[in-house]
A and B are shown apart, each in its own frame.
Chain A
Amino acid sequence: MDYNWDWLILFKQSVTGEGLYGVMLLKGLGWTLVISLASWIVALALGIALGVGRTLPNRWVRWPVTVYVHVFRNTPLLVQLFLWYFVVPELLPPAWGDAIKQMDSTLEQLLAVLLCLTLYTAAKAAEQVRTGIESVAAGQRQAGTALGLSTLGLYKHVLLPQALRIVIPPLTSDFMNVFKNSAVALTIGLMELTGMSREISEFSAHPFEAFTAATLAYMLITLAVVWLMRTIEVRTRVPGLLGA
């Protein structure tokens, strides 16, 4: 390979007159963190609620939640984002659609990405929570009911404290995936980490350096997630449970 390496490219001025390439990359990193963390926090809360919903005895709750989970989990994320950003405003009454399109462009992109990523991630988290609840031995549910606990009490005191501990490791993967999935934002023009490294690679003609920098940034983020989730897992561990 005959490639002209220049690892200092990130410390050079951008040809667009917008500052250093490295600063552009950091801006992209900032967007990735904002999008991912905001989506994850909401998606986790929503996912727990929906996961519980899928295991409730009442089928008027269970059915709609099941449909939601399947729709959002079984369609490509990219397609979902295109629907939210390009199609939904066209389906709304023209006045609403125009109002959305005249919003601040970055805000509009941000909202579309947050909505898309949150709903998608929540559907996945809901499945983890459901399997966590279902993995608690059936006898415990029956015992709880026999003790006279209401459904609320049963979930609060018996099922969820165990289920949520069980699902910490699989939720770690979902948490990491949010960061990686957030790269879809570039397809509607929100320049997060991957989008920015693409721009830098085009402007500077140093694609390998730009993408290496982005790769390292993603690795640092996911390693931080692993560390955080490990810490939570250890802190919340109950002796005698789950091999602890």
Chain B
Amino acid sequence: MIKRWLLASFIALLLASCGMDAPQPGTTPRQISTLDKIRQTGTITLGTRHASIPFNYLDDHQQQAGFSWEISQRVVEAVKQELELPDLAVKTMTVTPQTRIPLVANQTLDLECSSTTHNLERRAQVSFSNTFFIVGVRLLVRKDSGIQDWPDVAGKRVIVSGGTTAARLLRKLNSDRNWDIDILTAKDINENFMMVETGRAVASVQDDIILHSNIARAREPQAWEVVGTPLQREAYACMLRKGDVAFKQLVDGVIAGMMQSGEMERLYTKYFQSRIAVKGGINIKQPLSDDMRELFQRPNDDVL
């Protein structure tokens, strides 16, 4: 009985996947364009994050805020103009790093702007807009830890957030160089910092800007520093439906326009060099990097 039932479910699954997999010849693509969908439904759905500070988060007044959130708001304005839909309804949906890609791929979300790295694997499922931020993977350590660079963490315990590109780079480094780093996996950004704060790990590996934002939120910010040469630079971009050229053009245009008009730099100052309403007010105090300055001059959607 059980065997037969198992077999049946297997077959059902296979059939289902084949059905979804093979495009039917002669029919139009199953995907409708994002702009058509928005026009038909009068609604645009944005993916949002709770605590990706300062890219997209709920501030102290429980309002959506952040560098990437404001970019998505500019996109919404542009969509309203393009489609002549002044009453366009904006729906938000909270996502996590684990759910964001499936939700864009299955067309629940029209646009996701937070702190998502643009990489080749992900491009198999979704498309990415122009880059709006460039980060490097570095180390967060206590100032008195004596750790200066990557070789110093060999044989030590290091924490990294599960499934992130930082995790992938660190593991690759570890298996390539045989450094015997004891890699702990954290569930999210907050837990990641808790592990170094409570002394379970000597260093936290993450995108440098997130490390700086963690320091700004720490109980004693002066005790921490970010060290190490960036492992690899990464580009943050907005995610949208795969192969939707028209919508990508619109989003790319908004981002490039913001960079050229100087608006993006003002937005940078607002979120990275001024007080923001998190935990009663924090300031990340990070100068604009050379990478970012170059990006602002030459907007692009390259994978780094």
| A residues in contact (CB < 8 Å) with B | 1-7, 15-18, 86, 89-90, 98, 101, 105, 186-189, 191, 195, 198-199, 201-208, 212, 219, 223, 226-227
Contacts and interface: CB of A to CB of B under 8 A. Distances in A.
Interface string B78-108: 0000000000000000000110011001110
20 contacts: A1-B20, A1-B107, A2-B105, A3-B105, A6-B124, A7-B17, A16-B172, A17-B176, A18-B175, A86-B198, A89-B198, A98-B199, A101-B198, A189-B186, A199-B162, A199-B167, A199-B185, A206-B124, A207-B102, A223-B6
B241 interface: yes
A205 B163 CA distance: 10
B200 interface: yes
Q: 6 tightest A-B contacts by CB? A: A202-B163, A16-B171, A205-B121, A189-B185, A17-B175, A2-B31
Given A3-B125, A198-B162, A186 B97 contact: no
Is the contact region of chain A dominated by helix, strand, or loop, or is it mixed?
helix
Interface of B: 2, 6, 9, 13, 17, 20-21, 29-31, 97-98, 101-102, 105-107, 121-125, 157, 162-164, 167-168, 171-172, 175-176, 182, 184-187, 194, 198-200, 241-243
Given A201-B98, A226-B2, 18 more contacts: A1-B105, A2-B105, A4-B125, A5-B20, A6-B124, A7-B17, A15-B172, A16-B171, A90-B198, A98-B199, A105-B184, A189-B184, A189-B185, A191-B162, A195-B162, A195-B185, A205-B121, A212-B13
Contacts of A188: 187
Contacts of B157: 105
Contacts of A1: 20, 30, 105-107
A205 to B, nearest CB: 4
B98 A186 contact: no
Contacts of A6: 124
Contacts of B31: 2
Given A1-B106, A3-B106, A198-B163, A17 B198 contact: no
Nearest to B14: A7
A16 B30 CA distance: 34
A89 to B, nearest CB: 8
Nearest to B163: A202
Contacts of B9: 219
A204 B121 CA distance: 6
Given A4-B124, A101-B198, A101-B199, A203 B163 contact: yes
Contacts of B30: 1-2
